[in-house]
Amino acid sequence: MSDQRDTPLWLPPRPADADTSADDFRAPPEPERSPEPEPAHDPFGGEPKPWYKRAGGGVAALVIVIVKFAAKLKALLLLLPKLKILTTSGSMLVSVGAYSLIWGWKFALGFVVLLFVHEMGHVIQLRREGIKASAPVFIPFLGAAVWAKSLGDNALAEARVGLAGPVLGSIGAAACIPIADATGNDFWRALAFTGFFLNLFNLLPVVPLDGGRAMAAMAPWMWFAGLLAVLVLAFTYPNPIILLIALLAAMETWRRWRSRREGDHAARAYYRVAPLHRALVAAVYLGLIALLVVGMDATHVARTFADA
C-alpha cells in the first residue's frame, strides 16, 4: 500500500521518492495576530465617566479658581491705601500717564489736578465730621477714591461729605476761567468745561455717586430715578465705566433700600432728617446743578474740522 494513505489531509500528496520525516506531519504554524487594544479603564477601578460629567468637574474647578481670585482681588483693594507705590503722588503720576494717551500730557495733568481738588473736598469734610480719611488714591479711567470707615453718623453728614466734593471741584474748575481770559488760550476754557462736566456727572442722584449721597438726606426714593438714568446711559452709550457704575448702583440701591425698610431702629434713624436740613441740602444740590450747567455753557468751545 502506498504511503500516501497515511498522509494527513492538510498536506499535499508526497512523491514516492520523497523523504518521510516527522516534520512532514506537523500542522503549519498559525499566522500571528496583532494584539487587541485593551479597553480604557479608570485607574481607580471604576468605569470611564461620561463626557458631561468630566466637563462638570472642569467647570467646578474653574469656578473655584475664579472665587479664589476674586477674594484675593478684594483683599488687594482693601490694601490699596497702605501700599507705598499707590500713594497720592504715585497714583497721580500713573493717571497722568494713562490720560496722556488720550489727551496729551498737558490736559491730562490739568484733569488729574481737578480730580484732586474734587476729592480733597470729601477729605476736608470727612475730617470736619471727625472721621479719619485717607488721602486721595487715583485709579486711571475710573477717577479717584478716598477711604474712610464711615461717611458720618447720619444721612445729613453723608450728604455734607458727598456735596463737599462737587462744591470744591466746581470752584477749582471755575478758577480756570480767569486764566483763560488772561491768556486767551482755549486750553484753560476746555479744562474748565471738563471740570464742570465731571462735577455735574457726579451729581446724578444714585449711589455711590455724590448725588446719591445727597439724596440720602434729601429724598432716598430718588435713588431709583438715578438708577434708571444710569441704565439709560449704559444702553445708549455703552462703555465699561458706565456699566460698572450701573452695576454698583443697582447693588447699593437695593442694599440701602432694604436696610432702610427692614432695618432696626438705628438703621431707620440714620435717614431721619429735619425738614429745614432737608431743604438746605436740596438748595445746595439744585443750586450746584444750575451753576454747573451755566458754567458748561460759558466755557463750551466749538470745535471745527480745522481744529482737529
Blockwise average pLDDT, block size 10, the chain, 308 residues: 48 52 52 56 51 51 55 55 61 89 92 95 93 87 84 91 96 96 92 96 92 91 89 85 87 85 77 92 95 94 60
Q: Domain for residue 273, yes or no? A: yes
pLDDT at 308: 47
Contact 270, 151 (CB under 8 A): no
Q: Domain for residue 271, yes or no? A: yes
Closest CA to 166 of 128, 197, 127, 190: 197
CA 9 to CA 150: how far, in whole Å? Answer: 105
How far out from the chain centre does Cα 171 lie?
30
CA 268 to CA 262: how far, in whole Å? Answer: 8
CA 201 to CA 251: how far, in whole Å? Answer: 20
What is the phi/psi pair of residue 148, to 5°? -150, 155
pLDDT at 14: 53
Domain count, the chain: 1
Q: Domain for residue 116, yes or no? A: no
Contact 132, 143 (CB under 8 A): no
CA 83 to CA 60: how far, in whole Å? Answer: 34
Q: Domain for residue 3, yes or no? A: no
Contact 147, 81 (CB under 8 A): yes
Q: Domain for residue 122, yes or no? A: no
Closest CA to 145 of 248, 267, 215: 248
pLDDT at 307: 52
Q: Domain for residue 279, yes or no? A: yes
Task: Give the pTM.
Answer: 0.68
Domain, as residue range, for 174:
152-299
Residues 6+ apart with CB under 8 A from 164: 121, 122, 124, 125
Q: Domain for residue 218, yes or no? A: yes
Residue type, 252: E
Q: Domain for residue 34, yes or no? A: no
